[in-house]
Amino acid sequence: MKSFTGIIFRKELIDIFRDRRSIIITFLLPIVLYPLMFWFIGSQAANEMDGPSATAIAADAKAAAELRAVLNDPIFEEANIFLSENNDPVAELENGNADVAVITDGSVLRLVYDPNKTSSAMSNNHVTVLLSAYNQTAQAKKLAEMGISLSDLAPLSFLSVSLEAETGKEESGAGMFLTMMLPMLLVILLSVGGMPTAVDLFAGEKERRTFEPLLCTGARRTDILSGKLGAVTVMSMLGALASGAGIFAGYMLNPRAMTMGLDDAQGINLPPGMLVLTLLIIMAMAVFFSGLHILLSTYARSIKEASTYGSFVMIASYIPVFASMSKLGKDFDFWTAFVPVMNVTGSLKMVLNGINDMKYMGVTLGITAAFVGVVLVVGRYMFKKENIMLRA
């Protein structure tokens, strides 16, 4: 019997691309919003990393003089510490007019800061680091006058070296921030990307009463399911691609902003086989989430009901994503390859960290494909159940 899948698929895509709201939400918003978001968040962090500064207020002339004498040292030459005097520096700190309050009570210089204010906490850290360095330099100088080296006093000398540096391998990887953020963003985008389309193509058809005439045509229900699943998957993939383009645009605008000011991205060197495997995993994940949204939308009586069910999928997908958010590529044990969604995050992090673990990624692809199979079988079953298809 003739298959009508292609005809349905084509019509659905035409229909979707004429829906301005879907186009704006799926394509335009990510392309515009992601660069803006990364530029805003990232550039703030980058600025703080590039040129930290502190506004300190000393309680009295004594504290001010003590600190000023210290700040004259060359170590503070480019420290950007601005000092002024006020008899109630704590009140000034509370009012947000200062980042650090400097109080002296004899021998100790107390730096008071507000841990609930980022600029205050960072300023305190900035000043503390510089004062420690000043202390260490002063100590080393005094010891040198006595003919003693500071390192001679240390019970242990140590040096922290990366595995790549130690083994002489070329450093690679996308850096810590990108490794943490990109897989999480991609999986979340895939989990929601197909939802508006799935809701429109199934619950929407029920609500608009276009489903019944469609069921009376020569198309079998499996043709209808396949055609629509294809369209939802394409939209999900295109949505993720648009978001990727938005993130890339953000990177092009300000590369340091994308890495939150950390210069640890070395670039990814991906062999062709791994690239294909990665793309297959991403596609399988897109089909899986699309299928899941289709099942829920098929069961729903209305667009509103389908959207409610869809939000459960989004929340459920966040659990494995956030559970592995702080992990890097090598933190994923092999058993996690059997945990759906988390295994995709793990695979992507491995790729971003330059780890080519074919076994882990192969299992991930297999597990994701198996879930796609389950979704399709359930979908076929649901499409044959008249109490579901005509549920109103």
Contact status: 24 vs other proteins (CB under 8 A): no
x/- site string to other proteins, residues 213 to 252, per CB under 8 A? xxxxxxxx--------------------------------
Smallest gap from residue 211 Cβ to other proteins (A): 8
Total residues at interface with other proteins (CB under 8 A): 26
- Letters for 362-391 (x = contact with other proteins by CB under 8 A, - = none) are ------------------------xx-xx-
DSSP assignment of 32-76 equals HHHHHHHHHHHHHHHHHHHS--EEEEESSHHHHHHHHHHHTSGGG
The answer to whether the beta carbons of residues 340 and 364 sit under 8 Å apart is: no
Contact call for residue 169 and other proteins (CB under 8 A): no
Helix (H) or strand (E) holding 109: strand 109-113
Tell how strand 109-113 and strand 81-85 pair up.
unpaired
Quote the least distance from Cβ 216 to other proteins, whole Å: 5
Q: Looking only at residues 179 through 218 of this chain, which bind other proteins when binding is defined by CB under 8 A? A: 208-210, 212-218
Instruction: Considering the complex, state which of residue 129 and residue 390 has its C-beta at the smaller distance from other proteins.
Output: 390
65 interacts with other proteins by CB under 8 A: no
Q: By CB neighbour count within 10 A (0-12 exposed, 13-18 middle, 19+ buried), where does 176 fall?
A: middle
CA gap 92, 172 in Å, rounded: 47
Residue 212 beta carbon to other proteins: minimum distance, rounded to whole angstroms: 7
191: nearest Cα among 61, 341, 335, 41: 341
Annotate each residue in 96-135 with x if it binds other proteins (CB under 8 A) or - if it does not, as one string.
Answer: ----------------------------------------
- CB-nearer residue toward other proteins: 303 or 361: 303
Q: In angstroms, rounded to a whole number, what is the distance separating the alpha carbons of residues 37 and 45?
A: 12
Give whichever of 21 and 359 is closer to other proteins, judged by the CB atom.
Answer: 21
Site for other proteins, rule CB under 8 A: 1-2, 4, 7-8, 11, 14-15, 18-19, 208-210, 212-220, 386-387, 389-390
